[in-house]
Structure 1
Amino acid sequence: MPSFDHGGIDIAYLDDGEGEPIVLVHGFASNKNVNWVYPSWLSELKRAGRRVVALDNRGHGESAKLYDPADYQLAKMADDVAALMDHLSIPRADLMGYSMGARISANLALRMPQRVRSVVLGGLGMGLLSNEGRPGENVAQALLAPSLDDVTDPVGRTFRAFADQTRSDHAALAACMRGSRGLMSREDAAAIAVPVLIAVGTDDDVAGSAHELSGIIPGSEVLDIPRRDHMRAVGDRVYKEGVVRFLQSRP
């Protein structure tokens, strides 16, 4: 798998297909394969005539593992995405992130709108603006526990089990959880000026309200993914078809 150096940090990525580019940014404890390749997003978007670029976020997958929470500030992770676009000579692209990847994508859309044609915020609603009730230190502690059997917090167990399944570096993920929880202000969310689709499962108790966030981001659209929770929405057919429609309708 190809990689590039960004400020001394090795970032792995994939680049496949032809057509207008879309850059995919995966969620916490996932990676480009688990989030996008295995659920058939790569093949779906290629069939829709898109060039698909996806990275392993720092601390994840085949990218460099870092252990200081300060290295996982959202702006730094968004800069990795912009640097990948520079590396591939992509001046501007559609962007889709899921969960933490949506936080990263929203940060990039706000700070560098000239690089973003449109953005899909998957698995993220009002969680963009508030950490209340969202995964946090409980997940970091679960990741650092000796084993899954030592974790009693239900949310912590879910993420620890997922990290075990993806064979992730637990210490790097704990640092990422502690460093990437920066919030966007309501004023900044209202200043996002690119087309936005907010896609959240109707049974998702992690993302926060998609419709409430849509009321803050001007002109944004909501895609409800019926009967899907945070984990099961990722590969859903309604999600894929809605995203393709959104991309095809973009000016």
Structure 2
Amino acid sequence: MTVSQHIFTASDGARLAWSEMGEGHPLILLHGLFSNAEINWIKFGHATTIAAAGYRVIMPDLRAHGGSAAPHDAASYPHDVLARDAEELIAHLGLDDYDFGGFSLGARTTARLVVRGARPGKAILAGMGLEGLAGWTRRKDFFLDAIANFDDAKRDSPWFMAISFMKTMKVDRTAAKLLLQSFADTDAEELAAFTMPTAVVCGTEDRDNGAPDALVAALPDATLYPVPGTHMSSVAKPELGAAIAAFLSA
């Protein structure tokens, strides 16, 4: 199935990229931290699986990731900038009836989008638990420490895997440091905004962002879809795309 590549200009002038596959009901999917649309959704077949179920799969590269701009000025990373970028992409595409979701950072951004007033028909929070939405400070400090130790971390350091992934993805560390400080927490009481059916899709060995069952319990209308793997390995499993397609088609 063909993937098309696109660019739009955000309100602050940043050029942001997105990929598309398939035709049908629009679904926007956001990738995880330091990843991109290709790695998270296309490479392992998830977008193909979802598109085959009758969806137009729209996959942005988040600001400071992939083919999107990675500016080095702090003014380009205001509070909740990724949610703002998502709102502007929705407006750019003229969508008023769509589904929306994401993995890890993409799930955090989905939560922020809904709290800010977006109302997709269905929502997907993948690679996420309740603590991951409200406990960003600890995770932010971990990744800032990883960037600070980028050139010196040994194989037994707590940051080794994160640094290895950043190196593989050729992450712009200056832009990443600025972006990490723009994220907002979403507290449990704010989850009342999720009035739409929501899938919590999480690896059976993934607790990087807390407990997915606690997140399901905190949401008004949520279902847990367990898939094989850890936070990193679940992205490479076909069950991830299959679970999302099954939820959307139900």
Length, aligned pairs only? 244
Opposite residue 206 of structure 2, the aligned amino acid is: D
Distance 1:231 1:70 in 2: 31
2:52 to 47, 56, 64: 47
Distance 1:43 1:2 in 2: 18
What is the alpha-carbon root mean square deviation over aligned residues?
2.0
| 1:172 and 2:171 matched | no
- In the alignment, which residue of structure 2 is the partner of 1:102? 107
- In the alignment, which residue of structure 1 is the partner of 2:43? 38
- In the alignment, which residue of structure 1 is the partner of 2:188? 186
| 1:246 and 2:250 matched | no
Gaps of 5+ in 1: none
Opposite residue 197 of structure 1, the aligned amino acid is: A
1:60: Cα distance to partner? Answer: 0.7
- In the alignment, which residue of structure 2 is the partner of 1:84? 89
Distance 2:193 2:63 in 1: 27
For the Cα contact (< 8 Å) 1:201–1:229, is it kept in 2? yes
| 1:123 and 2:127 matched | yes
Distance 2:58 2:213 in 1: 28
1:29 to 21, 34, 42: 34
Instruction: Compare 166-175 and 30-39 and name the one that shifted more.
Output: 166-175
Opposite residue 175 of structure 1, the aligned amino acid is: L
Q: 1:207 to 1:68 in 2, by over 3 A?
A: farther
Distance 2:79 2:98 in 1: 19
Distance 1:95 1:213 in 2: 17
For the Cα contact (< 8 Å) 1:28–1:100, is it kept in 2? yes
For the Cα contact (< 8 Å) 2:21–2:48, is it kept in 1? no
Distance 1:131 1:29 in 2: 16
Opposite residue 16 of structure 2, the aligned amino acid is: I
> What SS is found at the alignment partner of 1:12?
strand
For the Cα contact (< 8 Å) 2:129–2:214, is it kept in 1? yes
Gaps of 5+ in 2: none
1:177: Cα distance to partner? Answer: 2.1
For the Cα contact (< 8 Å) 1:15–1:52, is it kept in 2? yes
For the Cα contact (< 8 Å) 1:142–1:148, is it kept in 2? no
Q: Percent identity?
A: 28
Distance 1:141 1:19 in 2: 43
Instruction: Compare 189-198 and 136-145 and name the one that shifted more.
Output: 136-145
| 1:231 and 2:235 matched | no
> What SS is found at the alignment partner of 2:200?
strand
CA deviation vs aligned residue, 1:124-175 (integer Å, no higher than 9, x gap): 111112247x532232132243525468641x22211111111121221122
